[in-house]
Structure 1
Amino acid sequence: MSFLRRLLSGQTDVAPGISSTAPPTNSPPHLPTLPPFQYTPLPSPTTHFRILQLQPTAADLATPWTSIPLRGTLLPCPISSPPAYHALSYCWGDATPADSIIVDGAILRITASCAAALRRMLRGKPRGRKIWVDAICINQADDAGALRERGAQVAMMDRIYRGAEQVDVYVGEGDAGTEVACEAVRRLVKYSVGAAVPGSTGRYFARKYEALAMEVLACTPEYPYGKLHGLFRQPWFGRYWVIQEVALAQNVTFYCGKHLLLLSSIIIATDFSPLSPTLLESNPMAVHWRTYTMYHTSVQAWIRQRENHSATPNVPPPALSQVIIPPALLFEATRPEDKVHALYGICKRLGYDLPVPDYTKSLAIVYTETAQAILRYDGQQGLDQLLESACASPSSRDQGIPSWAPDLSSCIRKWSSANLPNSCMNDRRNTWPSGRGNPGCQFELGTDSSKLRVKGRRLDIVCEPGTPWEIDNAATNIFGRDHAPTGSHIFALMTSLESWFAIVLRSMNAVSASQASTAGLRLAEVLAKDTKGNSSVDDLQELSRYLALAMTIAKRSEDPGRLVLADRTMDPQDYVRHGDNCTLSEAMYMQLGRIMPGMAWKTVFRTAQGFLGVGPYSVAEGDVTVVFQGCSLAGLLRPAGEGYSYVGPAYVLGVMHGEFWEAGEAGDDEWFELV
């Protein structure tokens, strides 16, 4: 099962009863009355940066390290020739200042997480250390001068992290869960390295590695998500800024409680490929854990390949859309414009010239300029990626973001009915509605940069959208939530399935039982095609059977607050629990998993001519279905003045392999202006 499918199924993260320990918030002892710290402007914010020289005193040696008073001085240094220093990577957490540091004889208020990270860096360092930490070394004020400085400093952060001797990642002080996870990492690395030794020694360690890997991956009552979960549920692994901090580092060391882990150790520990294919297939979590650092290490490999002028076959050069769009969905940033600014240095090193970070620009301008850069560098592939990712939402509209430009502030961790998605996530393969032999995408930006003209052909009008499958990602226990999953997404799916099945029946004017059976198969086809694109007839029939069984059981359920979706052929011991009120047999879970995440926050719709499709939750009656020339998915447009608002991508049964395009002619072509 894929990572994203596990992610949306609610089976990926926090174990009940295990919570992430907050960093120590011990304030320093009583301090004399000191003035608040005032930043001195840098000689030049484009050529200089500040380094914090932490300066503990002799008296601090007798103080527990979690309570050491923080003192230091800020050193302005030229970026071209700085002294030796480390750079700190940590999760900001609560932005409310809850602690203090004395800087150059004045008090600077800082967050609890920043203070805890700095104290951890002083542990065992009686002479102090030089360290770069963004919250202190960059003026965080919101006046015009500070904003200009911040933009200039963000633009050179690639040089700051690359110039550091080491990037120190403070994950947190941890708890019993992180202790187990860190120990598991240590042992996995030991056995994995030993297994590579030739001869009997290697075979011995290979056996040890296999037994340990199965133990670590096992989902047990004590460790419902395996033993690595205690580490990867820590907030650092879900943050956006840390991608650049790790990818550009010369060396990376993770600090978690008493443990120090190298990045290379975490990569080895989460790579379970030495297991046999049979064992890998039976342990979906074996793939899941790798995803927490996969993007970071991919970016690192891309940069090193480019800087070393090497041509590594296994590391193809990325498109700009590949660099920008995927992490925006998966990781969080406090400021939405940082979904672009935090990758500025990475993009620069990969040869992409984005506008210099400017915190005085509106979010709409930042995202529009980014979308324009994707079109400029990626061409047809860029248009494809933009239209696959963009999705109409009230928040995007309120911000003034053009409908065709993805709203990168969206993050799947936050999706809920109270926080509607403003991006689309597609997991489909081999769809190409424009058919064979077409000349590729044709598009042009209008004189108004917020408008985009795209060539395509009109297919039909939506006449009935179904009930979207709405998933509250907090309730599904996604990405380290500290409470158990509720199973609400399964209850919501049952409501949506009933709606979708009714739409398919009406599209066929079906009345008999045999027609209903055909409709079930057709529903399975449209759902499976959205995610796979290559399901066999047997696969579709199996999915259809389980969809029908699920709806039948749901309708017959005597307890509306409890749902047991199980085929009688399965041993109850193999059932999968989703919270206290929802249980599925393993076979049912696997079949419903086939439509995750392709249908999350999407719905089935039918058109006036009887086409069936899948579109975003925001699709409405009257939307126009269009096949854009050369694009991988169809699109949904909504009339808006003299142009169209882009609603989102669509999969339409019967047109995804060129049938519609090849049956038409050049006279059917139209230019659609997206606003």
Structure 2
Amino acid sequence: MYMAWTNIVDGGSIGIEYEAEEVLEDLHALTISSNTSHYSQILDIERQDIRLLNVKPGAFDDPISASFSTVSLKDAEVMGIGFHALSYCWGDSSEREEIMLFSNQDEADDGVPFSIGKSAAQALRRLRSEKTTLVIWVDAVCINQDDLEERAQQVTLMAQIYSLAAIVHIWLGEDNPGVEACLKLVRDICNYNSEECQGGEACSCLWTKHSSPLEEIKAFAEEVKKSGRKVSFKGMIEVFEVHLKTWSRAIIDMAGWYGNTQLSFLMSSLYENPWFSRVWVIQEALSAKFPLVHCSAEKVPWEEVVQQPDYATQNPHVASQQHSMAPIWKTLKPKGRTTEVPNTPIEVQNTDELSGILEVFLSGLDLKATDSRDKLFALLTFADETHDVSQLDDLMRPNYDKPKERVFADFTRWWIREHNSLEILSYIHCQPTRTWVKTVGQVTEGLPASRPTWSVDSKGSSKWTRANLSALFKFKASGVTKPDLKLLETDDPLILRLSGLRITEIKKISCVPIEHMYPYQNASQNQKEICQVLHQIIDPCGLTPFWARRNTAGEILQKSIQECNMKYGDHMNSHWAYADRPALQVLQPNAKAEVNYYETKKLPSCIEPCFFVTTSGLFGLCPWMAREGDVIVLLDGGNVPYLLRPADKKDEELRYELVGECFVSGIMHGEVLDALGQNADHKQTFSLV
């Protein structure tokens, strides 16, 4: 999206239509989904017991019959117990199907109805054999979801379960022509590069057939070369063009319709499948010995599917438009053998090469989970500090008895303690209502902040993880101080007590006085840093991946001063050239306690007020949700100043909400602490709620 694109709208409206669901239908769905009575055998924690579902042979349309068996993971590898595992999306909880559950594999009893999700039932129909029993682990079926203790215990075993499974079946659903076409396309792209099969009628491969003859694809690539064009990277476009000749109108429509077909449009239908946005699939796919992707009857090895986004990055036109896999797939590093059970099929590396849990967690913010706590629990096994489940701290151990707020508060407190740093507090700016630049509508303004305000949260976007001062700059506002670890010990897990200095408070906030801190010129040394913050975080030219809607989120674009000036001028004119509006009232950055305003039309009016002056004459930049009266503090162990908002009093203790970071000119490199020396008399304890 071009920053200066201007739409002049005379009026508009949004209509919302809805239909209320019947309460009785909801109650019925809840009733049939409870299977607690069928889990009669308690799983032994010490033995690392799991249940397996033994699915009887049957044709696709036959009713599903099955029974449970219990095995110990400790014995599974030694005894050679073979089983499969299913990786899938649960889907709508109200869409259920009943299977017949027998007490043993001999079907000596009559069996009882057992309710499972429609998606799981579809997968079982495709995976079962007509001759042999399918032994498979399905999380929603093999774990008693109503038993929170069992659920938490089984979560810690999931990496081992998926690593021991002979095949992990990745189920993308039934009757999805777009995904099926993509999988066939993937097969032929990989075959064009490997040349392992002749394709077409000559293909006798085990999985989805290579539908296009290899010679036909090669011949088309030669025609491209003869015409003076360059063959695309890995032949992606050429294979796409060959497939295009055989597709139905419905598939061509998904690819952009006649005359405008694009590989990126079609491949988006694959990566937009809900499976790719589910947090648990990260562990399920990367732990597997042999992951196999299914959609209806199509079957493609995972390694072929996962190669495509990398191929696309080498084809610029494809990469610029494609909806690809979540960033976390690139963040995760291969995990070494931390237990007796191998946890990844990828090359084994030392555990000190793993990413930290905060980086892993933040890169997974785009993923979804039925239970928001799983956005942390599902990723523990991939992080340096938490990969060994047996050594997890109580604050980090999966526990579904804890409410969501407590889980993420414990994570934040644990991280501060383990890393002796407050850097994690800057990542509250990943949350939708707390980003530096406003990304939400007016309906959210004035709403009370969700507590605890100091905790990271499951909501947000990975593209905002670098949109803060701690991530982009090397400030040391609090010098070499460390948090007082004794203050972290508290009877109330939703309160965080930290030591620090009260510096001043915000007196007034206005739009940026752009004439005094224009970032696209050779700024004076005094103004250089505030100009950089304005350029890289507020981003009036749309050069970052944070606020501009670009499909290829990545690094901040590097442009010359001349290019930035042109972009800024276009953006500014789009706000002032098409309508009469009053000039903006902005504060003078004069380093005095009294405030002075002036008028300007040199700033795009879409930039929220983010410039402040304080009661002591300091000035700086703040997130859009800051208010006059917010207190600026330096907290021990923090790299940047923080904004606190007085909240309430309890037992004479004043409590604060954490608003976020701020930039204060003149105190970002420990100047305040240098002036105070070793004098700690000015320090106080701040209680954050």
TM-score (norm: length of structure 1) = 0.65
Q: Label 1:636 to 1:544 Cα distance change in 2 as closer, same or farther (>3 A).
A: farther
Structure 2 counterpart of 1:434, one-letter code: K
Residue 162 of structure 2 is matched in structure 1 by: 161
Residue 233 of structure 1 is matched in structure 2 by: 272
Partner Cα separation in structure 1 for residue 43 and residue 126 of structure 2: 31
Q: Label 1:260 to 1:632 Cα distance change in 2 as closer, same or farther (>3 A).
A: farther
The 5 Å alignment of 1:426-575 reads 426=468, 429-434=471-476, 438-439=480-481, 444-448=487-491, 449-464=493-508, 503-505=511-513, 526-529=534-537, 539=560, 542-557=563-578
Partner Cα separation in structure 2 for residue 530 and residue 432 of structure 1: 18
Q: 1:639 aligns with which of 633, 636, 646?
A: 646
Q: Label 1:247 to 1:603 Cα distance change in 2 as closer, same or farther (>3 A).
A: farther
Partner Cα separation in structure 2 for residue 612 and residue 48 of structure 1: 58
Residue 406 of structure 1 is matched in structure 2 by: 456
Q: Label 1:223 to 1:607 Cα distance change in 2 as closer, same or farther (>3 A).
A: farther
Cα deviation, residue 296, structure 1: 4.5
Residue 115 of structure 1 is matched in structure 2 by: 121
Cα offsets for 1:356-401 (capped at 9, x unmatched):
4332222233222222332343332xx3124323668799x99984
Q: Label 1:613 to 1:314 Cα distance change in 2 as closer, same or farther (>3 A).
A: farther
**C-alpha contact 1:634 1:652 (8 A) present in aligned 2:** yes
**C-alpha contact 1:464 1:503 (8 A) present in aligned 2:** no
Cα deviation, residue 262, structure 1: 1.9
Q: Label 1:54 to 1:537 Cα distance change in 2 as closer, same or farther (>3 A).
A: closer
Structure 2 counterpart of 1:339, one-letter code: K
The 5 Å alignment of 1:200-599 reads 208=231, 210=233, 212-213=235-236, 221-223=260-262, 225-272=264-311, 275=314, 280=316, 284-285=319-320, 289=324, 291-292=325-326, 295-296=328-329, 299=332, 301-304=334-337, 312=349, 316-327=353-364, 329-346=365-382, 347-349=386-388, 353-355=392-394, 356-380=397-421, 383-389=422-428, 401-408=451-458, 410-412=459-461, 426=468, 429-434=471-476, 438-439=480-481, 444-448=487-491, 449-464=493-508, 503-505=511-513, 526-529=534-537, 539=560, 542-557=563-578
Partner Cα separation in structure 2 for residue 340 and residue 452 of structure 1: 20
**C-alpha contact 1:453 1:672 (8 A) present in aligned 2:** yes
Partner Cα separation in structure 2 for residue 287 and residue 305 of structure 1: 36
Cα deviation, residue 316, structure 1: 2.2
Cα deviation, residue 114, structure 1: 1.8
Larger mean Cα displacement after TM superposition, 45-54 or 397-406:
397-406
Larger mean Cα displacement after TM superposition, 311-320 or 167-176:
311-320
Q: Label 1:659 to 1:39 Cα distance change in 2 as closer, same or farther (>3 A).
A: same
Alignment of 1:138 onto 2:143: yes
Partner Cα separation in structure 1 for residue 238 and residue 666 of structure 2: 46
Cα offsets for 1:581-624 (capped at 9, x unmatched):
xxxxxxxxxxx9xx9xxxx9986242333623142x53222212
Cα offsets for 1:193-248 (capped at 9, x unmatched):
579xxxxx9x9999755273467999964348444212101001111121221232
Q: Label 1:210 to 1:160 Cα distance change in 2 as closer, same or farther (>3 A).
A: closer
Larger mean Cα displacement after TM superposition, 547-556 or 256-265:
547-556
**C-alpha contact 1:507 1:612 (8 A) present in aligned 2:** no
- Secondary structure of 2:92's counterpart equals coil
Cα deviation, residue 37, structure 1: 8.0
Structure 1 counterpart of 2:494, one-letter code: S
**C-alpha contact 1:431 1:657 (8 A) present in aligned 2:** no
Q: Label 1:546 to 1:460 Cα distance change in 2 as closer, same or farther (>3 A).
A: farther
Cα deviation, residue 161, structure 1: 1.9
- Secondary structure of 1:550's counterpart equals helix
Residue 469 of structure 1 is matched in structure 2 by: none
Partner Cα separation in structure 1 for residue 339 and residue 70 of structure 2: 31
Larger mean Cα displacement after TM superposition, 541-550 or 364-373:
541-550
Q: Larger relative contact order (C-alpha < 8 A, sep ≥ 6)?
A: 1
Structure 2 counterpart of 1:166, one-letter code: I
Residue 621 of structure 2 is matched in structure 1 by: 613
**C-alpha contact 2:643 2:661 (8 A) present in aligned 1:** yes
**C-alpha contact 1:177 1:229 (8 A) present in aligned 2:** no
- Secondary structure of 1:139's counterpart equals coil
Partner Cα separation in structure 2 for residue 601 and residue 424 of structure 1: 19
Cα offsets for 1:288-343 (capped at 9, x unmatched):
73x43x5347546134588889995998232232233331x211111122223333
Give aligned pairs, total. 528
Q: 2:630 aligns with which of 603, 619, 623?
A: 623
Alignment of 1:81 onto 2:90: no
Aligned CA RMSD, in angstroms, stands at 5.0
Partner Cα separation in structure 2 for residue 674 and residue 554 of structure 1: 40
Partner Cα separation in structure 1 for residue 334 and residue 88 of structure 2: 22
Gaps of 5+ in 2: 4-33, 103-110, 197-217, 242-254, 435-443, 547-554, 582-602
The 5 Å alignment of 1:43-58 reads 43-46=42-45, 47-57=48-58
- Secondary structure of 1:302's counterpart equals coil
Percent identity for Structure 1 against Structure 2: 24
Structure 1 counterpart of 2:277, one-letter code: G
Residue 92 of structure 2 is matched in structure 1 by: 94
Cα offsets for 1:393-438 (capped at 9, x unmatched):
799x999843222122x1449x9xxxxx9x9964975412216973
**C-alpha contact 1:100 1:110 (8 A) present in aligned 2:** yes
Cα deviation, residue 130, structure 1: 0.7
Partner Cα separation in structure 2 for residue 243 and residue 300 of structure 1: 12
Cα offsets for 1:80-120 (capped at 9, x unmatched):
23431111010112111432111111112222222222222
Partner Cα separation in structure 2 for residue 331 and residue 634 of structure 1: 31
Q: Label 1:602 to 1:127 Cα distance change in 2 as closer, same or farther (>3 A).
A: farther
Q: Which has the higher helix share?
A: 1
Alignment of 1:672 onto 2:686: yes
**C-alpha contact 1:637 1:645 (8 A) present in aligned 2:** yes
Structure 2 counterpart of 1:365, one-letter code: R
